């Protein structure tokens, strides 16, 4: 899958490497900004309040 | 027979086999990706949230220091005399949700332990702003129970060392009105449903309070949340802001407020 994507990126090899680095960085930013905060709402490893049963 | 079979040239794979190989490869790569994402999530939760929260909390302390405004931080070299009697402590009005109540100093947690106390215990407060004040409980200095929650791990880990408190340790709360000195008494490990630890007299429902308590709640065990660790403290003394900070935290206060 990743090989297929890499082969289908436009441009010479160096440009394709640059593009893939940018794509990976964009995926990281999206994960930190949106995915991880959303995931942490469903993990209760860090709940420190009392009476949390009534408030999720 | 076996040798003959091996020697036979491989037949070109059929279309079905090609599709199957492709599907297995894509599935494998997706599974590896999912594993990496979960590892990254752990790194984010255990490390990056601390970086973000620490930055945000410094900002909150800075704003609080600016709001204190005109009153200049007293020189740490000449702390005012201890033991003066300043009468009944002033009890401030509770701010709105996510408003800053003050700063907590706990020398046991190190000379740099200055954390904001913010109104509310919802996730938006606890995850970024520091210690959250249970808004149904008393304000600092009031007769009753001033209760706060804080993360043991992640998001600043404001109460990571709560288990290291020793009876007699001072816990200082600075508000815009002054400094409230609480003395740590004991801790207790309870189930998360024990709301009675927040009662005006902790763990005694329906009893009228005559003393000023401070209760801190956090996760227990560390890196888990099956239980809660509770630290109880009792107010010892009060100083108005104009009298300057207690000698033990004078340098800390100057450093925290000096950031402003």
Q: Which of A2, A48, A51 sits opposite B152 (nearest CB)?
A: A48
Higher pLDDT, A14 or B72: A14
Phi-psi region of B15 (alpha: psi -120 to 50; beta: other; left: phi over 0): alpha
3 state SS of A27: helix
pLDDT at A55: 33
The pLDDT of residue B79 is 46
Return the closest-CA partner of residue B125 out of B158, B92, B85, B93.
Answer: B158
Dihedral Cα B252, B57, B73, B180, nearest 10 deg? -70
Domain ranges for chain A, please list them: 9-41
| Cross-chain CB nearest to B41 (options A39, A47, A53) | A39
Cβ A48 vs Cβ B219: under 8 Å: yes
CA distance B170 to B248: 9
Q: Name the nearest CA neighbour of B247 among B177, B185, B172.
A: B172
Cα separation, B13 vs B21, whole angstroms: 10
- Report the pLDDT value the prediction gives residue A24, as an integer from 0 to 100: 94
Beta pairing class for B178-190 and B227-240: antiparallel
Q: Which pTM was predicted?
A: 0.79
Mean pLDDT of chain B: 85
Q: What integer is the mean pLDDT of B139-143?
A: 92
Flag whether pLDDT at B185 surpasses 50.
Answer: yes
Please, which residues have CB within 8 angstroms of residue B12's CB and are 6 or more apart in sequence? none
The pLDDT tens digits for B43-89 are 998 888 888 888 999 888 888 888 887 555 554 444 445 555 777 88
| Residue-wise pLDDT tens digits, B189-221 | 999 888 899 999 998 988 899 999 999 999 888
pLDDT digits (tens, 9 = 90+) for B78-111: 444 555 577 788 888 888 888 999 999 999 998 8
Would you list which residues of chain B are within 8 Å, Cβ to Cβ, of chain A?
Answer: 25-26, 29-30, 37, 40-41, 44-45, 48, 121-123, 126, 132, 134, 147, 149-155, 159, 190, 192-195, 197-198, 217-219, 223-225, 228, 230
Share of chain B above pLDDT 70, in %: 89
């Amino acid at each position: 899958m990743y090989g297929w994507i890499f082969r289908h990126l436009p441009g010479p090899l160096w440009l394709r490497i640059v593009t893939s680095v940018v794509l990976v960085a964009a995926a990281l930013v999206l994960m930190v900004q949106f995915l991880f905060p959303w995931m942490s709402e469903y993990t209760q490893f860090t709940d420190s309040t009392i009476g949390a049963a009534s408030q999720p | 027979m076996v040798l003959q079979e091996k020697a036979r040239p491989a037949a070109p794979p059929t279309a079905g086999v090609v599709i199957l190989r492709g599907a297995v490869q894509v599935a494998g790569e997706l599974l590896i990706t999912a594993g990496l994402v979960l590892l990254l999530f752990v790194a984010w939760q255990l490390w990056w949230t601390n970086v973000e929260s620490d930055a945000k909390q410094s900002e909150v302390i800075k704003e609080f220091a600016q709001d204190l405004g005109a009153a200049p931080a007293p020189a740490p070299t000449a702390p005012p005399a201890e033991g003066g009697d300043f009468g009944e402590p002033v009890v401030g009005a509770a701010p709105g949700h996510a408003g800053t109540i003050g700063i907590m100093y706990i020398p046991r947690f190190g000379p740099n332990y200055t954390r904001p106390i913010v109104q509310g215990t919802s996730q938006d407060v606890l995850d970024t702003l520091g210690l959250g004040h249970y808004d149904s409980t008393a304000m600092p200095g009031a007769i009753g129970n001033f209760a706060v929650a804080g993360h043991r791990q992640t998001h600043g880990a404001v109460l990571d060392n709560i288990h290291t408190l020793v009876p007699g340790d001072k816990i200082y709360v600075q508000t815009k009105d002054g400094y409230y000195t609480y003395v740590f008494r004991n801790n207790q490990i309870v189930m998360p449903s024990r709301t009675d630890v927040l009662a005006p007299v902790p763990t005694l429902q329906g009893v009228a309070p005559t003393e000023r308590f401070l209760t801190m709640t956090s996760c227990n065990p560390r890196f888990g949340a099956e239980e809660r660790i509770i630290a109880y403290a009792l107010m010892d003394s009060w100083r108005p802001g104009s009298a300057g900070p207690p000698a033990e935290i004078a340098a800390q206060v100057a450093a925290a407020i000096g950031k402003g």
